[in-house]
Amino acid sequence: MIQAQRITLTNSAGVALDFSAGAGPFEQSPATHLLLGQYATVDLAGLPWPEGATVQPMVVVDADDRGSPPPPPEAVQLTMNGRTAHYSVHGTIWDWTVTAGALDPPTPPPSLPGFPAQVPLNLLAYRNWDHQILRPGMLTCAPRTADDVVAVCNWAQDNAYRLRVRGVMHGWSPLTLTQTAAPDERVLLLDLTKGFAGMELLPAGDGLPTRVKVGAGATMLQLLTFLEQQSGGKGAAPGYSFPHTPAPGNLTVGGVLAIGAHGTAVPCPPADAFAASYGSLSNQVVEVTLVGTDPSNPGTRYAPRVLRRGEPTAKAVLAHLGRTLVLEATLQVVDNYNLRCRSFTDLPAATIFAAPTAADPVPANSFADFLQRLGRLEIIWYPFSDNPWVHTWQVAPSLPAGSIAVQTPFNYPFADIVPDGLQSLITSLVNGDPGLTPTVGQMAARVTANGLDGRNWAGIAGTYPVSRDIWGPSKNSLLYIQDTTLRVTANGYAIHLRRADVQQAVHDVIGEYTTMLTAYAARGSYPVNSALELRVTALDDPAAVGVAGAESPVISALSHDGVDQANGWDVALWFDVLTIPGTAGADQFYAELETWLVGRFTGSAGRVLPEWSKGWAYTASGGPWTSADFLAHVRSTLSQGRTNADDWAWEAASLKALDAAGLFTNPFLGTLFG
């Protein structure tokens, strides 16, 4: 097999084509359109695939009516060797083929004096999810072993470099890189997807539950696929899983744990009551391996350290915002299960968000009604449309009547596949003529309703698979967002509440949101042009972790402490508002909405914490992450009622003690942690 780091394809045929590289059915690089005589290169170093992965050059020819493409060319084994494999397309629309050609000699790496020679080093672009943080030509290394990472850390300490971990870059907030570089910036990115994607299932024993040990560079798709394939599970579906997971499959485990990522679910006995946390994935951790300094001896060099759940420092690194370097984590798992995933688009917003009353505290078909009956619920509501997309899940051991069995994840192609050209068109329409926003929102709602029924936007059947009522192993409906979906920016908050207060909270939040939209529209302003999303999870209760002495992650947005207990808060309502990047008036809208949220959910009514990966701390003039008042609110909220061994200052000091040279930070984190 060809061993290479890059793939170049030249179109020498009389056809137009799309070229990409694939490492699996749901792992593909962005496609490049090529006309005759054009060529493109895919640098596999920039993709979140482990070294050794088999990569196939993929060619799709426009207007190919032969029914099936020719046999695929020889595949490439991803090897960080600086070499480029050349391919070419020859022939005509009726008879084209792809052939492998030359293999270039290695290109020399960038020059960094004294840098460990065994660690691959490249210049790669950094681009976050909504393309608002774009940094070309960033020094990026791909260590293969823990010894490599240690060597890089100690080199960075000696050469005054800071280290930031580069994963899939599916995030909004500047936790990895800030939007602009400081004049004296000396930053090296570490890509752990190449050498730290291994997995091992650990059976229950010694008082610990069944666990999976996984490298920080593995993706959630890779992890859930691995778990599903393991023997020994006693659930209705094969293998193992988690009670819930984030919706995108292309997130690294390290990134997920850094920000305390989540899905949507609260326990709903008897079928949906797993012996595990229903909070963030960070609260599933039972052990973590990181590289850092010894807090008891700050003069020591960087070295691997294992922290077991129950050790006092462990709770500081379970959600760390990139302020430490995690190589591997061990998480508790549950026996896998089947889910019935149903979607409803025939209920008006007034019904779903109805005000509860003493006589009717849980109105029929309201948000709280679905939550009470199913425990798993997401609302996706496009602005100025009537009926939200009510997305529900229910544990169902066997195939229910009317459901369609699905064997793979990502079952909503009508929402998942938005080509770059259409993305640009939507952006230009909305930003060029904001008055089209209501039309765009109503069209998005129609596309969703039609897509769930297998129809296109015009209502023609057969365009998509029917997906309104699907069923199968948990992975296949827990993962439903791909990288090709619409790129939007989003604010994000977790509102701690009593489960009994959720409907009133939802009613109030939606009431303020719609009042603001209406007032802005009356002034000819449309700051929000994509969906509002609501989810619910439990909090990070350490009692749900099968480890003696476990404590809640200190700065998880779901951190469970004495204030939660005193107020009876047992769930978090996740609230996100999405819009196209650059939309006029969005920052002011977000700032006003954030101020209202903090004022509404205060005292015994609840509390607001940021969804770390999203937008928060808004000012009208500066946008997200710029409000000193909200930053102070976060520090205060995560300190209130806590001891000096569990508050924000303790967290900051603990992370600093594990990083004596201050390698794992950036200007924004410096401001946040003080």
User: How far is Cα 125 from Cα 142, in angstroms, rounded to an integer?
Assistant: 14
| Total count of residues recorded for the chain | 674
Residue 44 lies in a domain: yes
Using an 8 Å Cβ cutoff, are 102 and 88 in contact? no
| Residue labelled with tokens 């079952």 | 411
SS (H, E, C) 533-550: EEEEEECECHHHCCCCCC
Q: How many CA atoms lie within 13 A of 347 on its CB side?
A: 22
Residue 615 lies in a domain: no
Tokens of 348: 């008006």
Q: Is omega for the bond preceding 209 within 30 degrees of 0, making it cis?
A: no
User: How far is Cα 533 from Cα 520, in angstroms, rounded to an integer?
Assistant: 20
CB atoms within 10 A of CB 245: 24
Angle between helices 648-657 and 628-637 (to 10 degrees): 90
Number of domains in the chain: 1
SS3 category, 465: coil
7: part of which helix (H) or strand (E)?
Answer: strand 6-11
β pairing state of 134-141 and 121-127: antiparallel
Using an 8 Å Cβ cutoff, are 558 and 572 in contact? yes
Q: Which residues contact 432 (CB under 8 A, 6 or more apart)?
A: none
Instruction: Provide the domain limits for residue 96.
Output: 2-103
SS3 category, 44: helix
| Residue labelled with tokens 């984190």 | 669
Q: What are residue 380's phi and psi, to 5 degrees?
A: -125, 115
CB atoms within 10 A of CB 315: 29
Residue 7 lies in a domain: yes
Q: How many CA atoms lie within 13 A of 211 on its CB side?
A: 23
DSSP string for 342-378:
EEE--S-HHHHTPPP-SS-SS-TTSHHHHHHHHSEEE
User: How far is Cα 321 from Cα 317, in angstroms, rounded to an integer?
Assistant: 9
Residue 313 lies in a domain: no
DSSP 8-class letter at 333: -
SS3 category, 507: helix
Using an 8 Å Cβ cutoff, are 630 and 590 in contact? no
User: How far is Cα 539 from Cα 558, in angstroms, rounded to an integer?
Assistant: 5
Positive or negative torsion for Cα 524, 533, 406, 222: positive
User: What are 91-117's pLDDT values in tens digits?
Assistant: 988 889 999 999 999 999 999 999 999
Q: Report the CATH number at residue 52.
A: 2.60.40
Taking phi over 0 as left and psi of -120 to 50 as alpha, with beta for the rest, 559 belongs to: beta
Residue 57 lies in a domain: yes
SS3 category, 484: coil
Tokens of 536: 């619910």
Residue 672 lies in a domain: no
pLDDT at 65: 64
Task: Give the end-to-end CA distance of the chain in Å, rounded to a whole number.
Answer: 51
Intervals of the chain under pLDDT 50:
none
Query: Which residues, listed in sequence order, are joined to residue 329 by a DSSP beta bridge?
Result: 214, 288
Residue 576 lies in a domain: no
Angle between helices 437-452 and 420-432 (to 10 degrees): 150
Residue 330 lies in a domain: no
β pairing state of 76-78 and 2-4: parallel
Using an 8 Å Cβ cutoff, are 263 and 245 in contact? yes
SS (H, E, C) 235-279: CCCCCEECCCCCCECCCEHHHHHHHCCCCCECCECCCECCCCCCC
Across the chain, which distance is largest between two alpha carbons, in Å?
77
